[in-house]
Structure formats: structure tokens, C-alpha cells
Amino acid sequence: MRKVTIDDLHLKGKKVLVRVDFNVPIESGKVADDTRIREALPTIRKIIADGGKAILMSHLGRPKGGFDPKYSLKPVAEHLSTLLGMSVKFAPDCVGDEVRKMVDELKEGEVLLLENVRFHPEEEKNDENFARELASLADVYVNDAFGSAHRAHASTEGVARFLKETAIGYLMQKEIEYLSKATSNLEKPYVAILGGAKVSDKIQVIKNLIDKVDAFLIGGGMANTFLKAKGYEVGKSLVEEDKIELAKEILDEAEEKKVTFLLPVDCVIANKFANDAEFEVVAVDKVKPDWMILDIGPETVKRFGEVLENAKTIVWNGPMGVFEFENFAKGTFEIAKILAEVTKKGAITIVGGGDSASAISKAGLANSVSHVSTGGGASLEFLEGKVLPGVAAIRDK
Ligand code: ADP
Ligand code: MG
């Protein structure tokens, strides 16, 4: 690892400003899923153990400028107290005199969580003065927010310019280590499984990965746009019409470059978008005009499985179907099982994306793959070979 890590720093007595990703779902004033908070614990515990003063900052949701109790990090401070088994202080803002006073009163081994950085529009503008103000609270800056590292904001990028000592935290380190394996010195065959619903965000990724991977397995909503591009009837399935041309280009390019490109050969179709919809397994050329594709079929799982059997590196982003509905979760869960099997046999398997991560834990297999990335957009940009601004901002060793 070329970047300075938290292990390289002397933290005792220092004010350590840590960008964490506490962008968690809040329901009736309580943290509904604390995965991201738990992922940040090793870094926080390290600072406490070394006698540093931990000042944590994060964004939560997309508030429209200014304070909004809906997006307050206060419930997170309470939850973090429980997880750490100690009191966590909470600042009503992330900059200003009151916050400075709270920081100055912090003792060694104590933890202070600052209020949502996005209550200041300057955060997303990466405003220089705002970044400087954040930096002025601390001696050291640690970035442990992998999920936000693809964004150049004040708390993820700008702030690093104003502190001499910068480092990445353990979560960031873990993410980069696993994802680096997938981009450099990776063992082939390298297979990318792509699905999900954010077709326009991700279809470009396929193009950018085409010279790197040996095979693409396309399922989920992503597959429908390709099926339509090939002239199949897809009925009322989720399709991004304005990406059909790009899909055609990709299909041609894959053929020309002899990259294996598998689309579903059968699928589960439904008469409406609901778990209690009527459903049927049909070949892809038998989709009924008024129905929609909500999952990949068993023959597709089998064919994808044959490619995955021999793969040495596998990257998966985007569920194979609407896994939130029990009747359409099978394709996703079957692929998750195959990934768990090939991981046992030594393949490196990486699952990225919020919904993909939640699907793999729903399948009970989150611990059976090599790595579940906390970052969706960040992991994909990394795999494309792009430099993440939040990582670039940290000094090299
Ligand atoms: P991630 O969060 O892992 O990056 P996305 O957000 O792109 O993945 O996509 C996840 C969503 O895609 C899920 O909510 C799932 O229901 C949906 N999805 C998967 N397959 C289909 C499909 N065939 N039609 C409609 N939605 C789908
Ligand atoms: Mg998602």
C-alpha cells in the first residue's frame, strides 16, 4: 500500500479528524442498519487505544442546504455509543465556535461526532474556506469513507490539503487492497457480473472494462436493454431506451474482441411489478408483450455457473433480479451460492453496491465471498481504473 495508513501515524494526544461513511438508513429516529457504522469501528478503536482524540465527520442523505432534523447524525452518535460501550459526544454542527470548544475539551481516548457536513452547501462544492475550517479542528486527517471516495468534496478531499499528516483508515485500506487485486496482477479468467437497475450509471462501466475482463455475465434490469438491442420482445420490462445504441456498440465490440458476453437465455416474467404477481419461466424469445422480466431463469443460472466455475477473479455489481420480492430472488441467490462455492476453491470474489451487498447478506453469504465492498459507485470507478479523489488526496508513503 503506497498510501500512509493509520498504522504509520503517532496518534497519542493528537486531534484526529476522521471522515467516516455514516450514511445509514434512519427510521423513526433510530439507526435501521448499522453495517457502515460497524465497518468503521476498527479505525475508531485504534484511535481510542492509541490515546488520540477522535473527531468523526460524515454526511447523511441529501439535505437541501441548512439544518434538517431528518438528516441529523444524532441517532448515529447514540448508536455508536452502544457499539463502543462508551459515551460518544455529539456536536450540533461541524464547524464554528461551539464545535471548536467541544474539540478543545476532548480528552485522550474520547470520541466526538460532528453534525452532518452536508448541512453546509460548501461541503459538496469542495469550498476551500470550509475545508480549511474543518482542517483547523485537528492535527491529523484520516479518510475511512470508501463509499464517498469517488467524490471530491470538502470532507473527503479538500480538507486533506490543509493538514500535514493524512492517512487512510482500516476500512479504506481493506477496500483498496481487495479491489487492487481485481485490477492489477489479477488471476484470470476475470469475470464481471453486472445487473441491477441503474443501467445508465453502469453501462459505461461495461465499455470501460471490456479490455480487462474475459467474460461478462449480464442479468437484472441491465440485461433487458441488451435483449432489446438484440431485437427481443421485452414487454414492459425496465429498459433504458436511450442506451440501446450503446448496448449495440458494446455487443459488437465484445464480439470483435472475443470477450464472452452472456445474456439471459431464459427468465422469470411477471404480469405486474409485485411479489404476488403471476409468474412464469420462459425462454427469452417468449416474453409476453404485457409482462415484465423480473429475474433470470434456471438455464441462465446454469450457463453463468459454467463460466464462474473456471473463473479466478469475479466482480459482481447489481442483483440478477428483483430480489426484494421472494418470488424473484432466486436468480440472485443462486449466483450468490455459486460465488460462495468458487471462493472456497480459491477464486477472489468481490461484491459491490448497496443493493448487491444487501442481497448477499440476505442470502446469508456475506462472509463466504472474499470481499463485500461498502461502495457501489466507488468500487466501480476503482475497477475501471479511475483514481478516486478521496484516496488521491492522502499522502503517499
Ligand atoms: P447496487 O445497489 O448493488 O449498485 P442497483 O442499485 O443498480 O444495484 O440495482 C438494484 C436494484 O435493481 C434492486 O432494487 C433490484 O430490485 C433491481 N432489479 C434487478 N433486476 C431487475 C429487473 N429485472 N427489473 C427491475 N428491477 C430490477
Ligand atoms: Mg442501489
Beta 26-27 vs 30-31: how paired, if at all? antiparallel
pLDDT of residue 1: 60
**How far is Cα 123 from Cα 140, in angstroms, rounded to an integer?**
19
Q: What residues are designated binding site?
A: 21-23, 36, 59-62, 118, 151, 202, 324, 353-356
Among this protein's residues, is 196 annotated catalytic?
no
Q: pLDDT by residue (tens digit) across 254-265?
A: 999 999 999 999
Residue 376 CB less than 6 A away from ligand 1 = yes
Residues 199, 219 contacting (CB under 8 angstroms): no
Q: pLDDT by residue (tens digit) across 215-243?
A: 999 999 999 999 999 999 999 999 999 99
Q: Looking at residues 3-13, what average pLDDT do you find?
A: 97
Residues 60, 118 contacting (CB under 8 angstroms): yes
CA distances from residue 182 to 22, 209, 219 in whole angstroms, order as listed: 26, 11, 21
Among 43-52, 179-188, 281-290, which is the least confidently predicted range?
A: 179-188
pLDDT of residue 177: 87
**How far is Cα 140 from Cα 55, in angstroms, rounded to an integer?**
10
- Please identify which of the residues 109, 235, 305, 354 carries the catalytic annotation: 354
- All three cell numbers of 69, joined, read 432534523
- All three cell numbers of 25, joined, read 438508513
pLDDT of residue 52: 98
Domains of the chain and CATH, by start: 6-173 (3.40.50.1260), 182-383 (3.40.50.1260)
Residue 322 CB less than 6 A away from ligand 1 = yes
* Global pTM value: 0.81
Among this protein's residues, is 89 annotated catalytic?
no
pLDDT band for 357, please (50, 70, 90 cuts).
Answer: confident
> For residue 357, which atom of ligand 1 is closest to its CA?
3
Q: pLDDT by residue (tens digit) across 165-202?
A: 999 999 999 999 888 876 777 889 999 999 999 888 78
Neighbours of 188 (CB within 10 A): 12
pLDDT band for 381, please (50, 70, 90 cuts).
Answer: confident
Name residue, grid cell 443460472. Answer: 301
Burial of residue 105, with CB atoms counted within 10 A of its CB: 0-12 exposed, 13-18 middle, 19 or more buried: exposed
The torsion angles phi and psi of 76, rounded to 5 degrees, stand at -70, -40
The torsion angles phi and psi of 164, rounded to 5 degrees, stand at -70, -40
Residue 319 CB less than 6 A away from ligand 1 = yes
Residues 3, 146 contacting (CB under 8 angstroms): no
pLDDT of residue 385: 83
Q: Looking at residues 125-152, what average pLDDT do you find?
A: 96
Q: pLDDT by residue (tens digit) across 294-338?
A: 999 999 999 999 999 999 999 999 999 999 999 999 999 999 999
Best residue among 243, 272, 355, 373 to mutate for probing ligand 1, ranked by most atoms within 8 Å of CB? 355
Output the CA 225–ligand 2 centroid distance in Å.
18
The torsion angles phi and psi of 390, rounded to 5 degrees, stand at -65, -25
**How far is Cα 268 from Cα 293, in angstroms, rounded to an integer?**
6
Output the CA 139–ligand 2 centroid distance in Å.
36
Quick one: what percent of the chain has pLDDT higher than 90? 85
**How far is Cα 270 from Cα 67, in angstroms, rounded to an integer?**
43
**How far is Cα 286 from Cα 284, in angstroms, rounded to an integer?**
5
pLDDT of residue 32: 86
Residue 294 CB less than 6 A away from ligand 1 = yes
Q: How far is CA 59 from the centre of its chain?
A: 15
**Which residues have CB atoms below 5 A from the ion given as ligand 2?**
354-355
Three-state secondary structure readout of the chain: CCECEHHHCCCCCCEEEEECCCCCCEECCEECCCHHHHHHHHHHHHHHHCCCEEEEECCCCCCCCCCCHHHCCHHHHHHHHHHHCCCEEECCCCCCHHHHHHHHHCCCCCEEECCCHHHCCCCCCCCHHHHHHHHCCCCEEEECCHHHCCCCCCCCCHHHHHCCEEEECHHHHHHHHHHHHHHCCCCCCEEEEECCCCHHHHHHHHHHHCCCCCEEEECHHHHHHHHHHCCCCCCCCCCCHHHHHHHHHHHHHHHHCCCEEECCCEEEEECCCCCCCCEEEEEHHHCCCCCEEEEECHHHHHHHHHHHHHCCEEEEECCCCCCCCHHHCHHHHHHHHHHHHHHHCCCEEEEECHHHHHHHHHCCCHHHCCEEECCCHHHHHHHCCCCCHHHHCCCEC
**How far is Cα 356 from Cα 280, in angstroms, rounded to an integer?**
24
pLDDT of residue 355: 85
Q: Looking at residues 30-51, what average pLDDT do you find?
A: 94
pLDDT band for 144, please (50, 70, 90 cuts).
Answer: very high
Residue 61 has pLDDT above 70, yes or no: yes
Residue 290 has pLDDT above 80, yes or no: yes
Residue 273 CB less than 6 A away from ligand 1 = no
pLDDT of residue 167: 98
